[in-house]
C-alpha cells in the first residue's frame, strides 16, 4: 500500500519537472539578463505576432470543421472558434496538453451527438496535428543533420509509432482494443462506465484515412503560422537565421516539448530546447529563452486567456455543467 502511495506521488510530481527546469534555466542564465532581454522587445513585435494568430486560428477552425462534417457533427464556426480558444487555455495549464480535450464536453453539449463520437473527433484532430508536427520536425532534423544527428532517429521512431497507432485506431476491430487499454483509463470515472458500454459508438461516421489529406495540409499551415509568430519575436533581436530555417527549428523545439509530458504547457522543456537548438546558430541563452517564452505567450497563453474570458462571458460553462 505504501509502495503504491509512493508511485502515485511520483507520478503526480512528474509534471513539475519542466517547471523546475524552467526555474533552473532562469537561475543559470541570470534573472537580470533575462529581464533586460524581455524589456528590450518593442511592443509592436508582440502585437504583430498576436495578429498572425488570426489566420492560424482560421486554418485550425476550418480544419476542425471539415473533420466535424465528415463525422456529421454540425456546429457553427463561431462556436468552434470559442471552443478552440477555451481548450487552448486548458491545454496550456495542464500536463501534456491534456486540457485540449476539454472541447469534447463543449462539443457534445452543443451538437447533441454521442460522447464517444466527440472523443474520436478530438483524438483525430490532435493526432493529425501531432503527426504533421513530427513530420516537419523530421524534415528539420534531416536538413540540419550536422547539428541534430541524435534527434533524427528519435523523431523517426516516434513518428512511425504514432502513424502506426493512428492507422490501427482508424480500423474498428483493432482500434477498440487500443481504446480499452490506453484511452479508457484517461476518461473521468463518472463517464468511463457509460463509454465502456458503447465502444462501437467511437466508430460512428468515422472518416476514411484518405479524408485526412486536407486536414493534414491545413495542419502544415497551422504549424507554419505558429512558427512565423515566433519568428516575429526573433526579429526583435535581429536574428540572422532564414525564416524557413527558423520555423523548422522552432517546430523541432515545440514538438520535443509536446512529446515529453513532464511539464505544464511545455514550460521549461520548450525553453531548454530553444536554448540548445538556437545555440548552434550563435543565439545567446537569454535571447533564446525570451524568444521561446514570448512566442508561447503570443501563440497560446494570451489567446487562451481570451478563451477563458469567453467561457464565462459567452455562457460557455465549466465542465461540471456539461
pLDDT digits (tens, 9 = 90+) for 88-118: 988 888 777 788 888 998 898 888 888 888 9
The count of domains in the chain is 1
Residue pLDDT, tens place only, 111-138: 888 888 898 899 899 999 999 999 999 9
C-alpha cell at 292: 521561446
Residue with cell 498576436: 50
pLDDT band at residue 318, thresholds of 50, 70 and 90?
very low
Residue 285 located in a structural domain: yes
C-alpha to C-alpha distance for 148 and 82, rounded to whole angstroms: 38
Residue 94 located in a structural domain: yes
The domain in which residue 121 lies consists of 48-321
What average pLDDT score do residues 233-247 get?
93
Residue 13 located in a structural domain: no
Residue 173 located in a structural domain: yes
pLDDT band at residue 185, thresholds of 50, 70 and 90?
low
Residue 28 located in a structural domain: no
Residue 301 located in a structural domain: yes
pTM of the model: 0.85
Helix %, strand %, coil % of the chain (to 5): 80, 0, 20
- With 0-12 CB in 10 A as exposed, 13-18 as middle and 19+ as buried, what is 31? exposed
Q: Is the pLDDT of residue 68 over 90?
A: yes
Residue 108 located in a structural domain: yes
- With 0-12 CB in 10 A as exposed, 13-18 as middle and 19+ as buried, what is 80? buried
- With 0-12 CB in 10 A as exposed, 13-18 as middle and 19+ as buried, what is 220? middle
Q: What is the mean pLDDT of the chain?
A: 84
C-alpha cell at 90: 486548458
What average pLDDT score do residues 254-270 get?
79
Residue 255 located in a structural domain: yes
pLDDT band at residue 149, thresholds of 50, 70 and 90?
confident
Phi, psi of 194 (to 5 degrees): -65, -45
Between the CA of residue 154 and those of 136, 142, 157, 190, what are the distances in Å? 14, 12, 5, 37
Q: Is the pLDDT of residue 164 over 80?
A: yes
- State the Cα angle at 127 between 10 and 82, rounded to 5°: 90
Amino acid at each position: 500500500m505504501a509502495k503504491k502511495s509512493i508511485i502515485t506521488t511520483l507520478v503526480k510530481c512528474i509534471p513539475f519537472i519542466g517547471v523546475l527546469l524552467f526555474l533552473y534555466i532562469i537561475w543559470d542564465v541570470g534573472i537580470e539578463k533575462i529581464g533586460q532581454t524581455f524589456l528590450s522587445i518593442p511592443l509592436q513585435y508582440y502585437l504583430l505576432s498576436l495578429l498572425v494568430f488570426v489566420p492560424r486560428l482560421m486554418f485550425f477552425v476550418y480544419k476542425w470543421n471539415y473533420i466535424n462534417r465528415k463525422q456529421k457533427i454540425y456546429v457553427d464556426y463561431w462556436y468552434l472558434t470559442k471552443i478552440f480558444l477555451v481548450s487552448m487555455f486548458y491545454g496550456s495549464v495542464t500536463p501534456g496538453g491534456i486540457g485540449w480535450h476539454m472541447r469534447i464536453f463543449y462539443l457534445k453539449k452543443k451538437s447533441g451527438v454521442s460522447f464517444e463520437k466527440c472523443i474520436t473527433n478530438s483524438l483525430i484532430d490532435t493526432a493529425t496535428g501531432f503527426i504533421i508536427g513530427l513530420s516537419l520536425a523530421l524534415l528539420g532534423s534531416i536538413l540540419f543533420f550536422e547539428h541534430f544527428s541524435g534527434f533524427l532517429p528519435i523523431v523517426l521512431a516516434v513518428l512511425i509509432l504514432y502513424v502506426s497507432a493512428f492507422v490501427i485506431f482508424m480500423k474498428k476491430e483493432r482500434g477498440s482494443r487500443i481504446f480499452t487499454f490506453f484511452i479508457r483509463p484517461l476518461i473521468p470515472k463518472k463517464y468511463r462506465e457509460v463509454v465502456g458500454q458503447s465502444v462501437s459508438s467511437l466508430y460512428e461516421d468515422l472518416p476514411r484515412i484518405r479524408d485526412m489529406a486536407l486536414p493534414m495540409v491545413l495542419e502544415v499551415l497551422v504549424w507554419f503560422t505558429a512558427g512565423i509568430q515566433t519568428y516575429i519575436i526573433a526579429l526583435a533581436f535581429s536574428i540572422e537565421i532564414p525564416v524557413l530555417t527558423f520555423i523548422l527549428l522552432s517546430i523541432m523545439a515545440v514538438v520535443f516539448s509536446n512529446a515529453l509530458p513532464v511539464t505544464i504547457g511545455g514550460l521549461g522543456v520548450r525553453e531548454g530546447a530553444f536554448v540548445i537548438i538556437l545555440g548552434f546558430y550563435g543565439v545567446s541563452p537569454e535571447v533564446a529563452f525570451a524568444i521561446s517564452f514570448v512566442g508561447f505567450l503570443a501563440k497560446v497563453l494570451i489567446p487562451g486567456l481570451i478563451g477563458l474570458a469567453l467561457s464565462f462571458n459567452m455562457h460557455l460553462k465549466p465542465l461540471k455543467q456539461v
